[in-house]
Amino acid sequence: MLATNLKHIKSEEEFFQAVENDENVMICCGRMGPMCIPVYDIMEDLEEKYEKVKFYDLDFDAPHAHVLRNHELSRTFMGLPFTFYFKNGKAVKATSSIQSKAQVKENLETYLLKD
Amino acid sequence: MSARHYDVIVLGAGSAGLTAGIYLGRAKLKTLIINEGTVGGQMVLTHAVANYPGVLETGGFQLSQIMKQQARQFGCKIESNVEVTQLDLISKVKQVEIDHDEVYTADAVIIATGGKPRKLGLLSEDQFKGLGISYCATCDGDFYAGKDIIVVGGGNSALEEAVSLTKWVNSVTIIHQFDHFQAHQHAIDEATNHPKISFIMESEITKFLGNDTVEGVSIINKRTGETSVVPTNGVFIYIGYLPNSEKFKGIVDLSEYGEVIVDENMKSNLPGVFAAGDIRKKKYRQITTAVSDGTIAALSTIDYIQNLKNNFV
């Protein structure tokens, strides 16, 4: 399990529950590496400010991570972490490798909260 | 003074900034640490720290978390992942605005903003980030299993990471702008003797090629001007670091490389402004040297604040 303060997705069932039960979901799928840790840190900071979004992490090496590792949007990805944005159960945006706070906020605003 | 006034504001929460915070907090100075990125700075980028005295081996992330906890235990407030949008370091009461919103004041400021990895600066570099361009071999190496990749750079990081990548990849081509390496001899020997590693010297990448992912790079030989294309599946970039000093240009004395110039007590040219860690002009950049700088900067600041309270400044 990842050593973050985010909610962890621990099974495939939890993954589907998370994306289907909430309108706006952001999931960071990675390891405890230098490119991933800053993104978890940013998400922890944004959790308070973005109450309409649910933030999760998912261990990239866990068996159930195949739901994002093999996702259509991540087929060309070659850098951790994979970051996914889900709107009403559908993946609307995904990014590969480290992201800045500004990039994460822009994706939240553009793909999840634009209405 | 208002609740937003602090004795000291530390800009940066890497090893220098956190150490300064620990000393300032322990001296009962009201201290705010403001950090534009992740707490821990470049320390977080280090997977294994084996030369930090008193600790047999730990991860950079783990070490940073302990330093953060120590700083908080001594009473420091830490604001991380914020943007410093305005600065006044010249007035007697220093002022820092974050996120165009909150304004904090302090009697003294320690600049410990560290450095950031240097990028090649090519237009397509951001476009291919995570799609064939990487800055971390241990993070992304396994995505390139059996592939032919390029490492850019000629320092210790470039050569050591190139060797590390050979665990996964079919071949590594190191592209370096000079005819010699800046790395230590042991790193040069290990890379040059490795059967999977080859070299293109005196050359620079001018363009990344590909559609969805990197498929090759255009390079130019700096001596002959000859251009060519090198097919590749991935490019790992290790070309050094730049000081995070853009905000201080024209305010604090900087070296030609943008490092803050300080004296042996970490004092800058401005009263009440100190600097510590990788942001300052110095030769050796290690966690231990940053910790040392942070300690000295904090002790100098404590003296400065004491003199200020006694009206000696």
> Band of the pLDDT at A55, cuts 50, 70, 90?
very high
pLDDT of residue B2: 57
Mean pLDDT of B72-99: 95
pLDDT of residue B259: 97
Q: For residue A37, which residues of chain B lie inside 8 Å, CB to CB? A: 38, 40, 44, 61
What's B168's domain CATH number? 3.50.50.60
SS3 B280: strand
Residue A64 pLDDT exceeds 70: yes
In a domain, residue B122? The reply is no
Q: Do A97 and B140 touch (CB under 8 A)?
A: yes
Q: Do B81 and A41 touch (CB under 8 A)?
A: yes
Q: Is residue B41 less than 8 Å (CB to CB) from chain A?
A: no
Residue A79 is nearest to which of B59, B134, B212, comparing CB atoms?
Answer: B134
> Band of the pLDDT at B313, cuts 50, 70, 90?
low
Residue B139 is nearest to which of A35, A41, A95, comparing CB atoms?
Answer: A35
Q: pTM of the prediction?
A: 0.81
Proportion of chain B above pLDDT 90, given as a percent: 83
Active site amino acids of B = 136, 139-140
Give the DSSP H/E element, type plus range, for residue A54.
strand A54-59
Q: Do B134 and A37 touch (CB under 8 A)?
A: no
Q: What is the mean pLDDT of chain B?
A: 94
Q: How many domains does chain B have?
A: 2
Residues B98 and B15 placed together within one structural domain of the fold? yes
Mean pLDDT of B141-163: 95
Residues B167 and B80 placed together within one structural domain of the fold? no
In the listed set B213, B237, B261, which residue is the last one of a domain according to the structure?
B237
Distance from CA of B213 to the nearest CA of A (A): 7
Mean pLDDT of B282-290: 92
Residues B198 and B229 placed together within one structural domain of the fold? yes
Distance from CA of A46 to the nearest CA of B (A): 9
Residue B289, Cβ neighbours under 10 Å: how many? 18
Proportion of chain B above pLDDT 70, given as a percent: 99
ipTM of the shown complex: 0.84
Q: Do A96 and B129 touch (CB under 8 A)?
A: yes
Considering only residues B124 and A96, tell me which one the structure prediction assigns the higher pLDDT: A96
In a domain, residue B128? The reply is no
Mean pLDDT of A81-108: 96
Q: What residues make up the domain containing B89?
A: 5-117+241-309
Residues B180 and B265 placed together within one structural domain of the fold? no
How many interface pairs between A and B have CB atoms less than 8 angstroms apart?
A: 75
Give me the long-range contacts of B67-74 (CB less than 8 A, separation at least 24): B67/B15, B67/B18, B67/B19, B67/B22, B67/B40, B68/B13, B68/B18, B68/B39, B68/B40, B70/B18, B70/B22, B71/B18, B71/B21, B71/B22, B71/B25, B71/B33, B73/B25, B74/B21, B74/B22, B74/B24, B74/B25, B74/B26
Residues B215 and B248 placed together within one structural domain of the fold? no
Distance from CA of A18 to the nearest CA of B (A): 26
Residues B161 and B65 placed together within one structural domain of the fold? no
pLDDT of residue B262: 98
**Multiple choice CATH, A7-112, 3.40.30.10, 3.20.20.140, 3.30.465.10, 3.40.50.450:** 3.40.30.10
